[in-house]
């Protein structure tokens, strides 16, 4: 595995340290304007529209809890298939496996300390 390769947080094992690289799949990446969505929805009797702000609240909440891009995060416990216990600074956070799969990290092999 290369130094710049990003992997989901859920793949780290107990004791491994990584740097948060970003959040994957939490925001809708469409570039359509709102008018295009409206025309598309009018063609069908029922439709499901994705809001362009999808995932913004959970990303903001993670940042408030200390899981921010560029910060180091250490896995305290990762017992599949259950939740993952991580440390970010002085904070200990228990994350569901589904959410941990959306947090992308770069494995840090140099420093075992969490900043």
Residue 55 lies in a domain: yes
Residue 114 lies in a domain: no
Model's pTM, two decimal places?
A: 0.69
Residue 115 lies in a domain: no
The model's pLDDT over 74-106, given as tens digits with 9 standing for 90+, comes to 999 998 888 999 999 899 999 999 899 999 999
The number of domains in the chain is: 1
Residue 91 lies in a domain: yes
Residue 44 lies in a domain: yes
Task: Check which CATH number belongs to the domain holding 33 and give it.
Answer: 2.30.30.90
Q: Which of 6, 2, 32, 31 is nearest to 19 (CA)?
A: 6
What's the confidence (pLDDT) of residue 29? 47
- What are the contacts of 59-65 at 24+ separation with CB within 8 A? 59/23, 59/26, 59/27, 62/23, 62/103, 65/91, 65/93
Both tokens of 38, joined, read: 């409206």
* Domain span including residue 88: 6-108
């Amino acid at each position: 595995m290369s130094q710049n390769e990003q992997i989901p947080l859920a793949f780290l094992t107990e004791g491994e340290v990584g740097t948060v690289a970003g959040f994957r799949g939490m925001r809708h990446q469409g570039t359509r304007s709102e008018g295009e969505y409206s025309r598309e929805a009018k063609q069908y009797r029922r439709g499901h529209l994705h809001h362009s702000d999808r995932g913004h609240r959970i990303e903001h909440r993670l940042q408030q809890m200390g899981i921010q891009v560029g910060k180091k995060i250490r896995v305290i416990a990762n017992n599949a298939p259950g939740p993952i216990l991580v440390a970010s600074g002085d904070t200990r956070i228990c994350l569901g496996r589904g959410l941990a799969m959306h947090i992308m990290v770069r494995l840090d092999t140099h420093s075992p300390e969490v900043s």
